[in-house]
Amino acid sequence: MNTHTPFEAAVQAHGATVLRVCRAVLGPHADADDAWSETFLSAMPAWPKLPESTNVEAWLVRIAHRKAIDVTRRRARQAVPVEHLPETPAAAGSQGRSQSDARSAERHELWSAVGDLPEKQRKAIAYRYLGSLPYDDIAELLGGTAAAARRSAADGLQSLRRHPAFRDHDGA
């Protein structure tokens, strides 16, 4: 990057990716929004000093990883139940529910499948498949080797593959 590039360019280019990663790690809630905001807020002052060759997206995903940890710790200190999934449609499973109820029930299922993954697998998948981070970088963030990071992602994918929510999801 150079000092002539407005920071807005980074937000435009990578805002969606960073939010996807934050959501996959923290769930589709205010926590992910907080981590997203803190990621860009703390990246902004460092932006003009980044070497020209920096992979900006990878840099932001690494910051997002640290901010997600901060948010999780803060939440734990506040002693609020950690597991909060999106609201389940009240009449899930009952006949006559609308299509959007069905859709949101399906999303709920998919989210619980992601939420059920061990943390390391969930993060490895988020950083690799949503954040496009190389396994070397993921290993640095999660500890262990690149091979172990690759294994975590593969194990996570395998669990999702076996999960009914993902097995039946047609990806339309």
- Site of interaction with other proteins (CB under 8 A): 3-8, 11-12, 15-16, 19-21, 23-24, 28, 33, 36-37, 40-41, 44-45, 47-48, 107, 110-111, 114, 125, 129-130, 157, 160-161, 166, 169, 171
Of 28 and 134, the one with the shorter C-beta distance to other proteins is 28
| Per-residue 3-state assignment (H helix, E strand, C coil) for the chain | CCCCCCHHHHHHHHHHHHHHHHHHHHCCCHHHHHHHHHHHHHHHHHHHHCCCCCCHHHHHHHHHHHHHHHHHHHHHHCCCCCCCCCCCCCCCCCCCCCHHHHHHHHHHHHHHHHHHCCHHHHHHHHHHHHCCCCHHHHHHHHCCCHHHHHHHHHHHHHHHHHCHHHHHCCCC
Of 37 and 145, the one with the shorter C-beta distance to other proteins is 37
Q: Output the smallest distance, CB 79 to other proteins, in A.
A: 25
Q: Output the smallest distance, CB 22 to other proteins, in A.
A: 9
Of 9 and 82, the one with the shorter C-beta distance to other proteins is 9
Q: Output the smallest distance, CB 161 to other proteins, in A.
A: 6
